[in-house]
Amino acid sequence: MGTLRLFSFSFLLLGLSTVFCQEEETIPWSADRKLTWEDFKGKPLKTEWAAATTASGISYEFSTSGTLDNLKVDFKVHTDFYPQKSWYRPEMCNSVVLSHEQLHFDISELFARKMRRRLNETSFTRNVKAEVRKIYRETLKSLTAFQNKYDHQTNFSRNIEQQLIWNKKISEALSATGSSPMK
C-alpha cells in the first residue's frame, strides 16, 4: 500500500438543532456500541485521497421556562454519526483505520460533554439564545482544532504509536467525565 492509502479523514457535521437531522439516518454515540464498516454507507468521492470519512457532529436543543428573574433552561446535547455521509474504501482500510474513525466519533462525544458541563454551569440572562449559541460555536471551534490536532499527530492513523496514545487519552477523558446523560 502506498502512503496515501492509510490516510483517513474526519468530517464534522455541525448543526444548530436536531431538527435538521430528524429525517436523516443517525447513530447516536454510545459507549456500548462501536462503529463497524457496515455503518459507513456513503459513496467515496472519486477524487478523494482519504481511506475513510467519518461524518459526526454535535447538535443541541433547548427550551426556557420561568421568569427573567428566575430563568430555567432545559437542554439536550447530542452526538451523532451520519452513515449516509460516512464512507470508506475497503481496499484501503483495516482495523487500525476503523479505530481511528471511531476515535473521531468519541472525540465528538467528549466535546458534547464539555458543552453540557458549560451549559450546566452558566447563569443565563434574557439573551439565552445568543448565549447558548456562543457556547455552541466555541465548543465547535475547539472540537475542530482538537480533531485536526488528532489527525496531525496520528498522521491519519499511520503513526501507530501515536494512535495508541490517542486511544488511551480519549478513553481516559471519557471515563473521567462519566457516562454523561443527554442533559
- DSSP for 33-59 reads B---GGG--SPPPTT---SEEEEEEEE
Q: Is residue 183 situated within a structural domain?
A: no
Which domain does 55 fall in, by range? Answer: 3-177
Q: Is residue 134 situated within a structural domain?
A: yes
CA–CA gap between residue 6 and residue 127 (Å, rounded): 47
Q: Is residue 28 situated within a structural domain?
A: yes
pTM of the shown model:
0.86
Q: Is residue 43 situated within a structural domain?
A: yes
| Degrees, nearest 5: CA angle 29-151-79 | 15
- pLDDT tens for residues 29-58? 999 999 999 999 999 987 778 899 999 999
* Over residues 66-76, mean pLDDT: 88
Total number of domains in the chain: 1
- pLDDT score of 9: 39
Cell 456562543, residue?
A: 134
Q: Is residue 60 situated within a structural domain?
A: yes
Is the pLDDT at 156 greater than 50? The verdict is yes
Q: Is residue 182 situated within a structural domain?
A: no
